[in-house]
């Protein structure tokens, strides 16, 4: 009797552990993205003005972090596939705190770049790629709901941290601002990952059979659909993140104050919530290929709108929010693209492969966006080039259909589309 009751208690308690993990990841993603990503575009003008470092070299340090995150994401995903996210993400949080303190203490541009390299390792171990792997494996067929909740909440990161970083910079130097951000990262993400990611990590699919696992990864990664998906994701990420990083200079060039431009960037992050809310109904009614093409084409249209509208300020802020909507839908599209087509088998490894070119495109985007703007003579003309790149991504996404793919037990429910 007692044994039966204990077994029933264990069954009833099992769903609570993934729910606790989801709650922990919601908090840590808000803070992680805010400190390790969104603080930089707001702090950049203050950093260059205080240090005399050039804008391209300072931006290159940040871009280098994203390249490192892309390269480190594949082994990080493989490690999470095998051992679970708790240790990897906790260590990544510790590294992130050390990197942020290193950024604050940087006496020269070389030190600053080295600190961002370390931050890139932390990004690979703690941000979306790691969190998506954890939730996809824990939630299985219910993963879309969990990923939607996570990205909805994490979408508040720029909304919170863009104006908060601007406020800190108004009262403190940029170095003191990064010290405050490091402290916040430490007190939230380290215990959040160490204590919140304690759900059991079961060995799914081929995890215990390296030959089968490697064969599956090789088959999927070399397929036409996966290659097209990777190219389309990278092109879209480049266009959208170049537009986002250069949103503030575009808006200030058109007469908005720095404070209002920062709020526009923050509200763009809030717009991501609408894009993510709308993703689930779209997924229930469409195939993965259709929604890929539709969302990427919509992204191209929103980039065009942001770049072409001359004002007034309210219209520019509204266009920034629409850009955020497109980005929000794209984030969920990318997070489910692999599992919707090939299931959860070796998801962390495959998502790491898919995400590496995307993250490198994000890394190149700040520098390349500036170079494009210089070459074409203005930020609106740069946004026109980004529109063409995003439109090309939508065309490539036509090749992402996967007819005849086996539906495994971790595949999305039929309502998600096939």
Give the CATH number for residue 100: 1.20.1250.20
Most confidently predicted of 68-77, 110-119, 143-152: 110-119
Instruction: Supply 85's token pair.
Output: 């996210």
Same domain, 179 and 285: no
Say if 13 falls within a structural domain: no
Task: Give the pLDDT mean for 255-283.
Answer: 77
Q: Report the 3 state secondary structure along the chain.
A: CHHHHHHHHHHHHCCHHHHHHHHHHHHHHHHHHHHHHHHHHHHHHHHHHHHCCCHHHHHHHHHHHHHHHHHHHHHHHHHHHHHCHHHHHHHHHHHHHHHHHHHHHCCCHHHHHHHHHHHHHHHHHHCHHHHHHHHHHHHHHHHHHHHHHHHHHHCHHHHHHHHHHHHHHHHCCHHHHHHHHHHHHHHHHHHHHHHHCCCCCCCCCCCCCHHHHHHHHHHHHCCHHHHHHHHHHHHHHHHHHHHHHCHHHHHHHCCCCHHHHHHHHHHHHHHHHHHHHHHHHHHHHCCHHHHHHHHHHHHHHHHHHHHHCCCCHHHHHHHHHHHHHHHHHHHHHHHHHHHHHHCCCCHHHHHHHHHHHHHHHHHHHHHHHHHHHHHHCCHHHHHHHHHHHHHHHHHHHHHHCCCCCCCCCCCCCHHHCC
pLDDT confidence bin for 122, thresholds 50/70/90: very high
pLDDT confidence bin for 13, thresholds 50/70/90: very low
Same domain, 286 and 378: yes
Distance (Å, whole) CA 44 – CA 245: 11
Residue 405 has pLDDT above 70, yes or no: no
Same domain, 24 and 172: yes
Task: Give the pLDDT mean for 134-161.
Answer: 82
Same domain, 161 and 40: yes
Residue 280 has pLDDT above 90, yes or no: no
Instruction: Supply 152's token pair.
Output: 């909805």
User: 29, 116, 114, 115: which is closest to 66 by C-alpha?
Assistant: 116
Name the residue with higher pLDDT: 263 or 78.
Answer: 78
pLDDT confidence bin for 117, thresholds 50/70/90: very high
pLDDT at residue 143, rounded to an integer: 78
Instruction: Supply 65's token pair.
Output: 């972090």
Residue 284 has pLDDT above 90, yes or no: no
Same domain, 193 and 317: no
Average pLDDT along the chain:
82
Say if 1 falls within a structural domain: no
Task: Give the pLDDT mean for 102-109.
Answer: 94
Residue finishing a domain among 168, 200, 232: 200
Say if 9 falls within a structural domain: no
Give, to the nearest 10 degrees, the angle between helix 210-221 and helix 347-376: 30
Say if 409 falls within a structural domain: yes
- Considering the chain, what percentage of its residues have pLDDT values greater than 90? 32
Return the sign of the alpha-carbon dihedral for residues 404, 229, 155, 360: positive
Say if 3 falls within a structural domain: no
Same domain, 304 and 360: yes
Same domain, 274 and 356: yes
Residue finishing a domain among 151, 175, 200: 200
Same domain, 150 and 287: no
Task: Give the pLDDT mean for 135-141.
Answer: 81
Name the residue with higher pLDDT: 331 or 387.
Answer: 387
How many CB atoms neighbour CB 219 within 10 A?
Answer: 11
Say if 12 falls within a structural domain: no
Same domain, 103 and 80: yes
Same domain, 75 and 212: no
- Considering the chain, what percentage of its residues have pLDDT values greater than 70? 88
Say if 4 falls within a structural domain: no
pLDDT at residue 286, rounded to an integer: 84
pLDDT confidence bin for 3, thresholds 50/70/90: very low
The parent domain of residue 379 ranges over 208-418
- 65 in Cβ contact with 360 (< 8 Å): no
Most confidently predicted of 47-51, 139-143, 246-250: 47-51
If one counts the domains in the chain, the total is 2
Same domain, 130 and 238: no
Say if 166 falls within a structural domain: yes
Task: Give the pLDDT mean for 386-398.
Answer: 94
Residue finishing a domain among 144, 170, 200: 200
Same domain, 345 and 220: yes
Task: Give the pLDDT mean for 1-10.
Answer: 42
pLDDT confidence bin for 105, thresholds 50/70/90: very high
How many CB atoms neighbour CB 387 within 10 A?
Answer: 22
């Amino acid at each position: 009797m007692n044994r039966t009751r204990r077994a029933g208690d264990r069954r009833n308690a099992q769903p609570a552990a993934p729910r606790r993990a989801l709650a922990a990841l919601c908090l840590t993603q808000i803070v992680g993205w805010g400190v390790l990503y969104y603080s930089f575009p707001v702090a950049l003008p203050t950093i260059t003005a205080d240090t005399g470092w050039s804008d391209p070299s300072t931006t290159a340090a940040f871009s280098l972090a994203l390249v490192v995150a892309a390269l480190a994401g594949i082994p990080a995903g493989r490690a999470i596939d095998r051992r679970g996210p708790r240790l990897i993400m906790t260590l990544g949080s510790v590294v992130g705190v050390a990197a942020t303190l290193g950024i604050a203490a940087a006496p020269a541009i070389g030190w600053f770049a080295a600190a961002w390299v370390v931050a890139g390792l932390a990004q690979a171990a703690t941000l979306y790629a790691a969190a998506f792997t954890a939730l996809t494996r824990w939630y299985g067929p219910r993963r879309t709901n969990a990923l939607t909740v996570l990205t909805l909440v994490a979408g508040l990161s720029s909304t919170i941290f863009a104006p908060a970083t601007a406020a800190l910079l108004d009262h403190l130097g940029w170095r003191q601002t990064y010290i405050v951000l490091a402290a916040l990262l430490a007190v939230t993400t380290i215990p959040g990952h160490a204590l919140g990611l304690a759900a059991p990590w079961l060995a799914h699919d081929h995890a215990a059979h390296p030959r089968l696992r490697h064969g599956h990864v090789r088959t999927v990664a070399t397929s036409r659909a996966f290659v097209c998906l990777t190219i389309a994701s990278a092109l879209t990420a480049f266009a959208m993140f170049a537009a986002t990083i250069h949103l503030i200079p575009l808006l200030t060039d058109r007469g908005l104050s720095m404070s209002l431009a920062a709020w526009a960037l923050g509200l763009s992050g809030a717009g991501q919530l609408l894009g993510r809310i709308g993703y689930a109904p779209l997924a229930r009614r469409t195939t993965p290929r259709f929604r890929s093409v539709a969302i990427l084409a919509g992204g191209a249209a929103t980039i065009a709108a942001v770049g072409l509208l001359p004002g007034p300020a309210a219209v520019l802020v509204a266009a920034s929010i629409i850009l955020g909507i497109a980005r929000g839908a794209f984030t969920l599209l990318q997070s489910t693209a692999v599992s919707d087509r090939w299931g959860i088998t070796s998801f962390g490894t495959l998502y790491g492969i898919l995400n590496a070119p995307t993250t490198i495109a994000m890394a190149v985007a700040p520098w390349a966006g500036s170079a494009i703007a210089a070459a074409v003579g203005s930020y609106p003309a740069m946004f026109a080039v980004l529109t063409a790149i995003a439109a090309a991504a939508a065309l490539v996404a036509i090749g992402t259909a996967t007819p005849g793919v086996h539906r495994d037990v971790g595949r999305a429910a039929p309502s998600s589309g096939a």
